[in-house]
């Protein structure tokens, strides 16, 4: 299919298809449910289910699945067939409203963080009518939420939907204060830019570390890395270009508008940016994008790596979460306005975000916490682990002038009053050249740049929506009571800027000075996930997350437990993989090389005493010493891992710190030696493709 408009969304049961296929009344009732979250009655559900089934069968589907997002961070679904027997030799294809609305998959193999008692293994999936059903691999996939028997969220979508609903309600209260009586809904919007690596699949399959852990645990630096910066935005190679074309088409069919693509900073690294949409759909789309990226790569003899740090010494991959709020009339609430009134409203939202971010640095850091992402944050390639906000000079100056009660000097040297009635008209500043900020205002949206490339964006957006909605609620509470709105607003803005200006930083976030400066400003610097995740349970956070019903207390606890558990499990698997690689592959390779060296040296000596054996002897001496050392370090690593499984009763936080301080540190020590050995051993002896091959072989 080459016609893009025809191809776009052809696997999606979208609004147009629904309007065309559903009786008018049913379609209207469905739209009401979608827009206002009204419960769907059984006849409507039956009618929608029937239309969905017919459409799916016409497109070759035989099965349906409730597609959900458990706390593993990837998607899941149990595939049931439409086939229903009517008598011993006849079947019909059936799908009822009941099956559309609710499913009961076995939940026992999904992480629950203590939410699901083992005697109650059932989980429930419930249709999310705000996200379209779609066709994938012969199944009709129905986006659903996933919860336990007791109604607790076992997934990432449920809290995200709750947070969107919360923000909708609180933002509307603010709009009403500014005299907006027309807007009926505010939706959070997201565009998630996705970074990834593409390498040759045959080479990928030769590396146990990539297969088991998604990243290379060993690998000496190649002679060329990313020093020349010749890859960034460079010419896309033919094999990669064919992949990207195919990927775009597959995504378009699923209604995902992949818009731009380019090479990233590291060799073999690329990026895809979609058009933004509502947070919920953007999350579903990002999950699908990651799945499709891998599938299409496989068809092209490539492997798509979504790990945050597949290669040491080379930039890792992240995800930029572009975030804003939009009214049902399509007005972006973070777009600076044309009139002072609009600008005052814009400033209120902006200042609310500043307060929310400063007050909840810990929660935002947690939202980016994972074993993989720990390699990036603070490594001069991604923002540091310190949260701050980039506003750009002009906005920062305007806030400062408001605070000081002085005139604002604009870039063209004119002076303007700054009062709510005299706000300067400022242009949307699209010249954001500060790529080092973790949370940057980019003209009409914020870009949260800390997320890891493999993460689901659901968690981060749920936190963003909740912390911002909480401040909007607080602001609305105060302003709704005010006798005189304008002075009350001015006082609120001033007070808030005064209190939270420490979070604004327009400088280089990668510099050492910033780490010092941030410390003196009292900002948090939570270096690893093991440091960050325990903050989930601070009283402030539990209160905030439960206050508006986004999470229950046990749901917060379950997220805390699962995140820490994943963190330690991943390091555990990495450590075992390392030990396996050393003993089964690396040491045998070195020994075999040393054997050839010593055989050659002996043969030379037999021929004549005067033939130099300098190379053989030097290498043998060095490699003997290094391989003994590697063996010892590996034994040590295995002992540390064994001990970790014995330390019970110390609590999950202590185990997390143990894995970071002891096991992970030991992995680093082991790797250094293996990498040095690699640089000395003949390439034909080495059991794994080198960094050079992995990074530069796709043409």
Residues contributing to the site for Mg ion (CB under 5 A)? 320
CB 58 within 8 A of CB 11: no
Q: Which two tokens stand for residue 315?
A: 């930039």
Examine residue 332 and tell whether it contacts ligand ADP (CB under 6 A): yes
Residue closer to ligand ADP, measured from CB, 181 or 430: 430
Name the strand (E) or helix (H) holding 520: helix 512-520
Scanning 184-192, 294-302, 388-396, 689-697 for contacts with ligand ADP by CB under 6 A, the matching segment is 184-192
Residue closer to ligand ADP, measured from CB, 112 or 442: 442
Which of 77, 105, 191, 219 binds ligand ADP (CB under 6 A)? It is 191
Name the strand (E) or helix (H) holding 451: strand 446-452
Look at residue 445 and give the partner it binds from Mg ion, ligand ADP, none, a contact being a CB closer than 5 to 8 Å depending on partner kind: ligand ADP
Which of 53, 136, 208, 445 binds ligand ADP (CB under 6 A)? It is 445
Report, in Å, the least distance between residue 320 CB and Mg ion: 5
Residue closer to ligand ADP, measured from CB, 317 or 568: 317
**Given the structure tokens 């204060």, which residue do they identify?**
177
Examine residue 170 and tell whether it contacts ligand ADP (CB under 6 A): no
Look at residue 505 and give the partner it binds from ligand ADP, Mg ion, none, a contact being a CB closer than 5 to 8 Å depending on partner kind: none
What does DSSP say about strands 133-136 and 12-13: parallel, antiparallel, or unpaired?
A: antiparallel
Residue closer to ligand ADP, measured from CB, 383 or 656: 383
Report, in Å, the least distance between residue 322 CB and ligand ADP: 3
b/e map 215-235, b = 16+ CB within 10 Å:
bbbbbbbbeebbeeeebeeee
Scanning 322-330, 452-460, 568-576, 623-631 for contacts with ligand ADP by CB under 6 A, the matching segment is 322-330
Nearest to 64 by CA among 127, 120, 141: 141
Residue ranges in 259-288 that form contacts with ligand ADP under rule CB under 6 A: 273-276
Which of 75, 315, 401, 442 binds ligand ADP (CB under 6 A)? It is 442
Residue closer to ligand ADP, measured from CB, 444 or 506: 444
Residue closer to ligand ADP, measured from CB, 396 or 444: 444
Examine residue 451 and tell whether it contacts ligand ADP (CB under 6 A): no
Report, in Å, the least distance between residue 509 CB and ligand ADP: 17
Scanning 92-100, 183-191, 344-352, 537-545 for contacts with ligand ADP by CB under 6 A, the matching segment is 183-191
Report, in Å, the least distance between residue 276 CB and ligand ADP: 3
CB 633 within 8 A of CB 672: no
Supply the DSSP string of 282-303, one letter for each residue. Answer: HHHHHHHHHHHHHHHHHHTTEE
Residue closer to ligand ADP, measured from CB, 187 or 566: 187
Report the alpha-carbon distance of residue 651 to residue 658 in Å, rounded.
11
Report, in Å, the least distance between residue 271 CB and Mg ion: 9
Nearest to 260 by CA among 226, 270, 35: 270
What does DSSP say about strands 139-148 and 63-67: parallel, antiparallel, or unpaired?
A: parallel
CB 511 within 8 A of CB 383: no
Report, in Å, the least distance between residue 256 CB and ligand ADP: 11
Residue closer to ligand ADP, measured from CB, 204 or 323: 323
Residue closer to Mg ion, measured from CB, 320 or 657: 320
Report, in Å, the least distance between residue 178 CB and ligand ADP: 19
CB 444 within 8 A of CB 428: yes
Nearest to 300 by CA among 249, 230, 259: 249
**Given the structure tokens 């818009």, which residue do they identify?**
259
Look at residue 273 and give the partner it binds from Mg ion, ligand ADP, none, a contact being a CB closer than 5 to 8 Å depending on partner kind: ligand ADP
Q: Which two tokens stand for residue 401?
A: 């002038």
Residue closer to Mg ion, measured from CB, 440 or 571: 440
With CB under 6 A as the rule, give the number of residues binding ligand ADP.
15
Scanning 317-325, 346-354, 467-475, 645-653 for contacts with ligand ADP by CB under 6 A, the matching segment is 317-325
In whole angstroms, how far apart are CA 582 and each of 207, 619, 629, 631, 647?
12, 19, 12, 8, 26
Scanning 232-240, 319-327, 576-584, 638-646 for contacts with ligand ADP by CB under 6 A, the matching segment is 319-327
The number of C-alpha atoms within 13 Å of 111 and in the hemisphere containing its C-beta is: 21
| 3-class DSSP state of 414 | coil
CB 455 within 8 A of CB 368: yes
Q: Which residue is nearest to ligand ADP (CB)?
A: 191
Residue closer to ligand ADP, measured from CB, 464 or 581: 464
Taking the alpha carbons of 490, 495, 498, 504 in that order, is the dihedral positive or negative? Answer: negative
Supply the DSSP string of 168-236, one letter for each residue. Answer: HHHHHHHHHHTT--S---EEEEEEEEEEEEEEEHHHHTT-HHHHHHSS-S--PPPS--STT--STT-PP
Which of 190, 217, 304, 556 binds ligand ADP (CB under 6 A)? It is 190
Examine residue 218 and tell whether it contacts ligand ADP (CB under 6 A): no
Which of 33, 50, 322, 570 binds ligand ADP (CB under 6 A)? It is 322
Examine residue 193 and tell whether it contacts ligand ADP (CB under 6 A): yes
Binding site for ligand ADP (CB under 6 A): 189-191, 193, 273-276, 322-324, 332, 442, 444-445
């Amino acid at each position: 299919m080459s016609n893009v408009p025809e191809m776009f969304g052809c696997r999606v049961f979208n609004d147009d298809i629904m309007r065309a296929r559903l009786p008018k009344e049913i379609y209207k009732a469905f739209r009401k449910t979608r827009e206002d979250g009204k419960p769907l009655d059984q006849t409507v559900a039956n009618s929608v289910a029937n239309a969905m089934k017919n459409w799916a069968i016409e497109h070759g589907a035989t099965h349906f699945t409730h597609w959900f997002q458990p706390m593993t961070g990837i998607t899941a679904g149990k595939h049931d067939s439409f086939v229903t027997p009517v008598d011993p030799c006849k079947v019909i294809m059936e799908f009822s409203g009941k099956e559309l609305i609710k499913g009961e998959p076995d939940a026992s193999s999904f992480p629950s963080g203590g939410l699901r008692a083992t005697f109650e293994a059932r989980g429930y999936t419930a249709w999310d009518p705000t996200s379209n059903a779609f066709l994938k691999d012969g199944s009709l996939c129905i986006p659903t939420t996933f919860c336990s028997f007791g109604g607790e969220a076992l997934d990432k979508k449920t809290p995200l939907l709750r947070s969107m609903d919360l923000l909708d309600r609180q933002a509307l209260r603010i709009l009403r204060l500014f005299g907006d009586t027309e807007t009926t809904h505010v939706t959070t919007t997201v565009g998630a830019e996705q970074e990834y690596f593409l390498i040759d699949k045959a080479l990928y399959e030769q590396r146990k570390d990539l297969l088991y852990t998604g990243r290379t645990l060993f690998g000496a630096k190649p002679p060329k890395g990313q020093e020349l910066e010749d890859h960034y935005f460079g010419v896309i190679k033919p094999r990669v270009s064919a992949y990207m074309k195919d990927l775009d088409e597959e995504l378009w069919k699923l209604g995902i508008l992949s818009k731009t693509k380019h090479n990233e900073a590291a060799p073999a690294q690329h990026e895809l940016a979609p058009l933004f949409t509502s947070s919920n759909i953007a999350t579903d789309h990002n999950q699908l994008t990651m799945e499709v990226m891998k599938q299409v790569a496989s068809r092209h003899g490539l492997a798509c790596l979504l790990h945050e740090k597949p290669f040491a010494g080379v930039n890792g991959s992240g995800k930029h979460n572009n975030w804003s709020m939009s009214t049902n009339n399509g007005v972006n609430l973070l777009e600076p306005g044309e009139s002072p009134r609009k600008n005052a409203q814009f400033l209120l939202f902006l200042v609310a975000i500043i307060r929310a971010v400063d007050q909840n640095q810990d929660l935002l850091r947690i939202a980016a916490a994972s074993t993989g992402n720990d390699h990036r944050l603070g490594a001069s390639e991604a923002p540091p682990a310190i949260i701050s906000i980039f506003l750009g000079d002009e906005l920062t100056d305007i806030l400062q002038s408001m605070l000081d009660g002085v005139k604002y000097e604009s870039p063209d040297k004119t002076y303007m009053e700054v009062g709510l009635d005299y706000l300067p008209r400022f242009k949307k500043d699209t010249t954001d050249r500060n790529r080092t900020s973790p949370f940057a205002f980019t003209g009409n949206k914020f870009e949260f740049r800390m997320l890891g490339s493999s993460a689901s964006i659901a968690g981060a957006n749920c936190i963003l929506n909740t912390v911002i909605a909480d401040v909007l609620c607080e602001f609305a509470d105060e302003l709704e009571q005010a006798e005189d709105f304008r002075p009350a607003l001015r006082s609120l803005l001033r007070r808030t800027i005064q209190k939270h200006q420490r979070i604004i930083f327009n400088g280089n976030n990668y510099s050492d000075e910033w780490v010092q400066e941030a410390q003196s400003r009292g900002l948090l610097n939570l270096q690893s996930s093991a440091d960050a995740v325990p903050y989930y349970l601070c009283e402030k956070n539990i209160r905030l997350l439960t206050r508006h019903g986004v999470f229950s207390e046990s749901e917060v606890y379950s997220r805390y437990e699962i995140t820490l558990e994943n963190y330690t499990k991943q390091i555990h698997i990495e450590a075992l993989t390392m030990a396996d690689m050393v003993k089964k592959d690396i040491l045998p390779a070195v020994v075999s090389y040393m054997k050839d060296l010593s055989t050659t040296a002996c043969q030379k000596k037999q021929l004549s005493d005067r033939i130099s054996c300098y190379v053989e002897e030097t290498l043998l001496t060095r490699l003997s010493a290094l391989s003994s050392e590697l063996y010892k370090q590996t034994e040590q690593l295995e002992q540390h891992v064994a001990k970790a499984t014995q330390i019970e009763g110390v609590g999950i936080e202590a185990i997390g710190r143990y894995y970071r301080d002891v096991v992970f540190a030991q992995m680093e020590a082991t790797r250094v030696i293996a990498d040095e050995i690699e640089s000395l051993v003949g390439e034909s002896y080495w059991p794994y493709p080198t960094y050079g091959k992995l990074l530069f072989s796709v043409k």
